[in-house]
Amino acid sequence: MTTCRFDSAWVEELTERLSRNQQVRRSLPDKGRLHIDRKLPFLCVYRRPTDIIDSGMERLIVGEAAYLKFSAAEKDREKISELIEKIVRVLVKEFGSFLILEVWSMRDWEAGTPVKNGLRKPTFKIVSDFDRTPQATLEILQAELRKIQVSDRLSQVSLTNKHKVAPIGCQPLLAPETAAALSCHLIGLEVSPIYRDTHGSVIHPLVRQTLHHKISQCLRQTFFQFMSEQTPKQPEHFHTLGRRAVVKAVWDIDERLTAIVNGFDFIMLNTPVNVNPAWKLFKRNNYREMPIFRYRPLPFSPPELKRQLYDIPIRRVEDPTLAALFEEERSQIDLRISMLGYRNTWKFLYGSLQLYGGVDDQILKLANEILARFRTRARSRDKGNWVNAVEFTESARKEIEYYQHIYAEFTPSVKIRKDVSTLMVNRGNLLVPESLKIRANRVNPLIQHEIGTHLLVHYNGSAQPFRLIRCGLPGYEELQEGLAVFAEFMVGGLSSSRLRVLAARVIAADSLTRGASFVETCADLQSKYDFDWHMAFLITTRVYRGGGLTKDVAYLRGLVVLFNYIKDGDCLDTLFVGKFGVSHIPIIEELSWRQVLKAPPLRPRYFESESSQRLLRQIRDGLTVGDLVKTAS
């Protein structure tokens, strides 16, 4: 970021960059800053008062695509006015009209609303010259501000008509006559700084973060209305008016968080390395003693890794969407580190419940319905037709070649391993257990599960500028596993046997959280639900590993979530951009509209078939996962 000389030559250089549609990012005196992403018909402004402490208010505008913050000191007033006027003149040539929205603190905010649960009501006052300002723009701003809710406090919004729009004791950014001649409209927004104490010195960062994000959405809706009505340009979506330029601090933070995530493999570290010997011992003891599982040693010191994690300066991120995402990611990494430190203790389970959630009544009911409908193991029609690890690997490599013809960067390897007990994707590669033996009719469904979903999403995420989207944002497992099981369904591989396994994982997780022992859960799966002892052992092992991992509930629950998403008619391609949770879909869509994220290079192969399109139509017409219980064979 270039430090400004703040003279006429500097202003001319800056406006010349704007006229060429180049990004402008400059420091101003007294900790001021100008940031303009590209040619846009609006500018957010904040001037820091000299007579009061106004901590935190400037954060409410710095995430926007075009903003200016500066000191309200009189010495630079004329230069600032000249700068603003030059910016407006350049951009009015492009758009024919311009909007300046200035934000400032409400001086008497603490007197206006009572405290409830430790928080005052968010209060806003819109200040503008009603005779000049487009009414539709004011109406949208008012309507969107009224939707803001912080904690349980709904906002209060009022409008004030003033010829001169400016904070108390300040002159307008542009004289009314100059603004009128330039077709420039000014709106003031007084904001109650509810995120700090009445003395102005103590900040409540989570309240400010919430307010920042919600005000940012309001401003973009307002700019969208103004641009659609007052300029010849018609934006496709209000998110397209968000910030595209990503500053160096964001890339640094993304890289440092990713380095920590890549420093350990959470699932591998929680996967026993002695599953087969443990099974043999469990069987030899007549299924009456819980086996002792062995795990890989931790490649880090939990306290030291947490120190590195919290040294990452996420507070430097201006963009409210990215800042919230990074904070959430850090919290999840912290939780995973803690869980690994508590491996094989009761504390591990409590971490798992925070990370993956437990078993809710709805998903438990569905699991019981599946197991009640299919009370015995289905007999495969592929009698004697089995596939081993080598044969499966050959089929997997052929599927990889298909995607490589579409996207040359799709370069996973397939490795046969002795130290894994199930198929898994690890760091962009497919690991196949040496002991693998499956029915031939399970090959394609598993290939679509592992390659058509997990590997495909990994490499789509790798094509994005943010590395964390490849590694996985918080809560990504539910959507990822839902997509993977959905892939099995789309190729006709979601049989009653497979549904039974998914349901049994839910039952096992519920037994775990209710306090049942490994032996009790395994015995219940064998006696009550007719699983053979080996399958019951494998299911129970997955759920009880590490001290209790509820991740396996995500398979069935994720499938339900995905069916609901498709039923609502939303775009499926969005789900393959990278690894993220359902709660992040609006954020992924926002970043895509802002061109911060790219369109994914790969789509699942099964989307191309007519049978898949028919199944999608059935889901949109109301088919549910519960209906599969009635029709699966």
**pLDDT tens, residue by residue, 280-329:** 999 999 999 999 999 999 999 999 999 999 999 999 999 999 999 999 99
Other Cβ atoms less than 10 A from the Cβ of 134: the count is: 17
Mean pLDDT on 128-155: 93
Query: CA 205, CA 202: separation in Å to the nearest integer?
Result: 9
pLDDT at 199: 64
Range from 169-173, 253-257, 356-360, 482-486 carrying the lowest mean pLDDT = 169-173
Q: Per-residue confidence at 181, pLDDT binned at 50, 70, 90?
A: very high
Contact by Cβ (8 Å): 238, 221: yes
pLDDT at 97: 96
**To 10 degrees, what angle do helices 496-513 and 346-356 make?**
130
In the chain, % of residues over pLDDT 90 = 79
Other Cβ atoms less than 10 A from the Cβ of 197: the count is: 12
pLDDT at 110: 66
Contact by Cβ (8 Å): 69, 62: yes
For 2-245, which CATH class?
alpha beta
Instruction: Name beta bridge partners: 148.
Output: none
Higher pLDDT, 1 or 74: 74
According to DSSP H, which parts of 414-475 are helical?
443-449, 456-462, 468-471
pLDDT of residue 377 exceeding 70, the answer is no
Query: CA 282, CA 276: separation in Å to the nearest integer?
Result: 10
Place of tokens 């904690």: 151
Phi and psi (nearest 5°) for 211? -65, -40
Q: Which residues contact 37 (CB under 8 A, 6 or more apart)?
A: 23, 65, 66, 243, 244, 245
pLDDT of residue 7 exceeding 80, the answer is no
Is 65 strand, coil or helix? coil
Angle at CA 282, nearest 5°, toward 277 and 284? 95
Q: Per-residue confidence at 518, pLDDT binned at 50, 70, 90?
A: very high
The b-or-e profile of 555-569 (16+ CB within 10 A means b, else e) is: bbbbbbbbbebbeee
pLDDT at 93: 94
Mean pLDDT on 20-33: 90
Mean pLDDT on 609-621: 92
Place of tokens 């995905």: 562
**Tokens (6 digits) for 264:** 């350990």
pLDDT at 378: 54
Mean pLDDT on 55-78: 90
pLDDT at 235: 93
Mean pLDDT on 404-431: 93
Q: Per-residue confidence at 29, pLDDT binned at 50, 70, 90?
A: confident
Query: CA 24, CA 34: separation in Å to the nearest integer?
Result: 7
pLDDT of residue 415 exceeding 90, the answer is yes
Contact by Cβ (8 Å): 192, 148: no
Report how far apart, in Å, the C-alpha atoms of 101 and of each of 80, 227, 446, 482 are: 15, 13, 54, 44
Q: Which residues contact 373 (CB under 8 A, 6 or more apart)?
A: 496, 629, 630
pLDDT of residue 68 exceeding 80, the answer is yes
Mean pLDDT on 156-185: 93
Please, how many CA atoms are within 13 Å of residue 486, restricted to the half-sphere of its CB? 29
Mean pLDDT on 363-378: 86
In the chain, % of residues over pLDDT 70 = 96
**pLDDT tens, residue by residue, 325-336:** 999 999 999 999
pLDDT of residue 63 exceeding 80, the answer is yes
Q: Per-residue confidence at 247, pLDDT binned at 50, 70, 90?
A: confident
Q: Per-residue confidence at 603, pLDDT binned at 50, 70, 90?
A: very high
Fill in the amino acid letter for 446.
L
Mean pLDDT (the chain) is 92
Instruction: Name beta bridge partners: 396.
Output: none
Cα torsion 21, 25, 26, 31 to 10°: value is 150
The b-or-e profile of 414-424 (16+ CB within 10 A means b, else e) is: bebeeebbebb
Instruction: Name beta bridge partners: 47.
Output: 70
Fill in the amino acid letter for 123.
T
Place of tokens 């803690």: 338
Query: CA 297, CA 343: separation in Å to the nearest integer?
Result: 11
Please, how many CA atoms are within 13 Å of residue 361, restricted to the half-sphere of its CB? 0
Distance of CA 616 to the CA centre of its chain: 25
Provide CATH 3.40.630 ranges for the chain.
2-245
pLDDT at 77: 84
pLDDT at 74: 77
Mean pLDDT on 268-279: 93
